[in-house]
Amino acid sequence: MDATQPTVVDNQAQRRFELHVDGEMSVLTYRIAGDRIRLLHTEVPGDQRGHGYADMLARAALERAQRDHLRVVALCPFVRAFLARHPEYNTLTLPDAPG
């Protein structure tokens, strides 16, 4: 096992958090409007699954929301499940909002 931990990068130009491993990229896409960040979709390549990469992406997005005082609207099913397992982030979330 590689001792280096992959790092999540916030690619603001592409509006996605990225994690690069072995030439493949996992992503969590988002949109920011006003004081809200909508977490839209998490995607991890099939052979990269099971390593916690989606958790790392979700955590990075929620930490950015916390740091930048953004309210989270979790539209992505994976992020919803992550939030259910990590109630420490509940203060950041908003119920589904139109738009």
Domain-located, residue 77: yes
Number of domains making up the chain: 1
Q: DSSP string covering 25-51, please?
A: EEEEEEEEETTEEEEEEEE--GGGTTS
**CATH code: domain of residue 18:** 3.40.630.30
Domain-located, residue 50: yes
Q: Tens of pLDDT along 51-76?
A: 999 999 999 999 999 999 999 999 99
The pLDDT-based confidence of 98 (bands split at 50, 70, 90) is very low
The pLDDT-based confidence of 36 (bands split at 50, 70, 90) is very high
Domain-located, residue 60: yes
Domain that holds residue 65: 8-92
